[in-house]
Amino acid sequence: MSRIVKEYMGLQKRLQTPEFSWISFLAPVDDDDLSEWVCRFQGPSESPFEGFELGLNITIDLEKYPISGGPRVLFEPRTVAHPNVKWDTGEICLDLLKDAWTPIYTLLDVVGAIRDLLADPGLDSPLDLDIAQIYDADYEAYVQIVRYRLEEARLARV
């Protein structure tokens, strides 16, 4: 049985545990094709993202996963203003998704790491320089921008 199938089988049970109560949805788009997944989760508390639900699109190369490559994960484009997220595409700069990937990570680990990144941006190598600068210079303004953008996205969804 392939690894991703195994993960999927154990997933729904784990999602119901308190540890993952912040994930409201994590499942493949189509049960017959485990290469495309969608995730929705609550922004981390004590961060500008608190109180907002964020969406991830996850693509898995079934040939490579998990040995020689992790999932490709993008935020829904134009929703997340964050130093390590590309605004237009939703691309996430996170070592765990790139060179630091190891096969022991699961999708849950990945989503957890992304959530941690939201609360604690890495400013060493920002993808969005403008946001990174604002974060550095005027944290309050950063919070306002993040929340404004998320509110905008939420209204657009309704």
Partner 1 sequence: MVGNVGNDSGSSTIRRRGSGFGTILSTFGIRQAAATSGENGTLSGDSNSNGAQPIDITRNGMHTQMSNPVPNSPNGVSESAPGAAVGGVSNMITNNILGTTPFDSSEQPSQLTGALSAPVGDSALTGNHLPINLVLGQIETNGNGGNNTNDIHHIPLTSPPIHGTIPQNGQALKNVHHFIYPAVRPASAPSLHLDFAPDWAQPEAADDETVRNRKDKNGLFTLRLTAFIDNSSAGNPGFYFDPIIRTAGPGSQLVIGRYTEKVREAISSIPEPFHPAVFKSKVVSRTHGVFKVDDNGNWFVKDVKSSSGTFLNHQRLSQPATMSKDFLLKDGDILQLGLDFRGGAEEIYRCVKMRVELNKSWRRKANAFNKEAIQKMKALQKMTSGTELEDCSICLSKIKACQAVFIAPCSHSWHFKCIRQLVSKTYPQFVCPNCRAVCDLEADLDSDDEDEDEEFVDEDVYSPNETLDTRSRLSPINDEGTSFFPSMNRDSRITHPPIPEQEDEYCNDVDGDIRMLN
Rounded Cα gap, residues 110 and 120, in angstroms: 15
Cis, peptide link before residue 28, omega less than 30° from 0: no
- The token pair at 50 is 């608190």
> Cβ 104 to partner 1, closest distance in Å?
4
| Residues labelled as active-site residues | 93
For the stretch 46-59, what's the b/e string if a residue is b when 16 or more beta carbons lie within 10 angstroms of its beta carbon? ebbbeebbbbbbbe
- Comparing CB distances to partner 1, the nearer of 5 and 141 is 5
Does 7 bind partner 1 (CB under 8 A)? Our answer is: yes
Question: How many amino acids of this chain bind partner 1 (CB under 8 A)?
Answer: 12
Does 104 bind partner 1 (CB under 8 A)? Our answer is: yes
Q: Let me know: does 38 contact 55? Beta carbons within 8 Å.
A: yes
What residues numbered 60-79 form the site for partner 1, per CB under 8 A? Answer: 66-68
Count of CA atoms in the C-beta half-sphere (13 A) of 21: 4
Does 129 bind partner 1 (CB under 8 A)? Our answer is: no
Does 6 bind partner 1 (CB under 8 A)? Our answer is: yes
Does 3 bind partner 1 (CB under 8 A)? Our answer is: yes
> Cβ 68 to partner 1, closest distance in Å?
7
Does 103 bind partner 1 (CB under 8 A)? Our answer is: yes
Packing angle between helix 139-157 and helix 129-137, nearest 10 degrees? 130
Binding residues (CB under 8 A) for partner 1: these are 1, 3, 6-7, 10, 66-68, 102-104, 106
